[in-house]
Amino acid sequence: MMSCSSVTAVILPKEGASPAEKTKRVRSLWSDIDGMLSAIKEEQHAVESVLKGDVDQYILDGTDRVLRIPRTLLERVEQLPHQLSSGNVYEAGQLNLLCVLELMNHTLHLLKEERSRVAHAPKPQLSPKHLQEKCQQMARVLQNLHLIRQKISREGIPEVRSTIRELEAEWDRKWMETLKDTPLVSFLNEDPALGFLSPMAPLSFEPAAEAGYK
């Protein structure tokens, strides 16, 4: 073993060295010490965790975890010439993490193939002129829809309302004539379910508000 005098001789500069050389030597030694401490920092943290009893607090076993495998990945695995080398997804009721990692590996292969396929796919050529023409076409279609809506509101709805009023008047007339010959009680006695029928709500032909289309 080295004696204290030998260690001191290694650390301290020789007698007669200038202050600059001494300062440089001390700084070099401190730099070496910092490097050693940084190198063993992770090991020191692991030892401290063991001494404090912070180990074995968490178990990565996949308990109470439900793994949902996409259909595309299942089809890819089924097409393999051999089964998964890591076994089944669940072993003894617990999630097999090795199998999950193997599935993730196949997933990365699928993503790589899809990326390659998309990269070589023809890309649509969009130009400002083409977009402007599409915008103008959609504006014309929207204007035509507004004209159709106005026409229905002015002509179609009033005509339908008039027809409904005529049909209701005709129905009331026929109903009153029927009640003259057969009282209402007779209908209820023949079919008691008629007494539970609620009246139908009146039909509405009011045009919807513009906000409903936005």
Q: Is residue 163 helix, strand or coil? A: helix
CA 200, CA 214: separation in Å to the nearest integer?
Answer: 30
Higher pLDDT, 210 or 66: 66
66-105: pLDDT as tens digits: 778 888 888 877 777 776 777 777 777 777 888 888 888 8
pLDDT band with cut points at 50, 70 and 90 for residue 5: very low
What are the respective helix, strand and coil percentages of the chain, to the nearest 5? 65, 0, 30
Q: Is the pTM of this model over 0.95?
A: no
**Among candidates 60, 66, 58, 107, which has minimal Cα distance to 90?**
66
Show the tokens assigned to 92: 């003894």
The 8-class DSSP code of residue 121 comes to S
**Whether residue 187 has pLDDT greater than 50:** yes
Q: Determine the pLDDT at residue 62.
A: 63
**Among candidates 40, 36, 1, which has minimal Cα distance to 28?**
36
Q: Determine the pLDDT at residue 47.
A: 82
Q: List the beta bridge partners of residue 106.
A: none
Q: Determine the pLDDT at residue 122.
A: 76
Using an 8 Å Cβ cutoff, are 77 and 103 in contact? Answer: yes
- Boundaries of every domain in the chain: 9-52, 71-118, 137-198
Contacts of 172 (CB under 8 A, 6+ apart): none
Using an 8 Å Cβ cutoff, are 207 and 153 in contact? Answer: yes
The 8-class DSSP code of residue 197 comes to P
**Whether residue 140 has pLDDT greater than 90:** yes
pLDDT band with cut points at 50, 70 and 90 for residue 32: confident
pLDDT band with cut points at 50, 70 and 90 for residue 12: low
Using an 8 Å Cβ cutoff, are 82 and 106 in contact? Answer: no
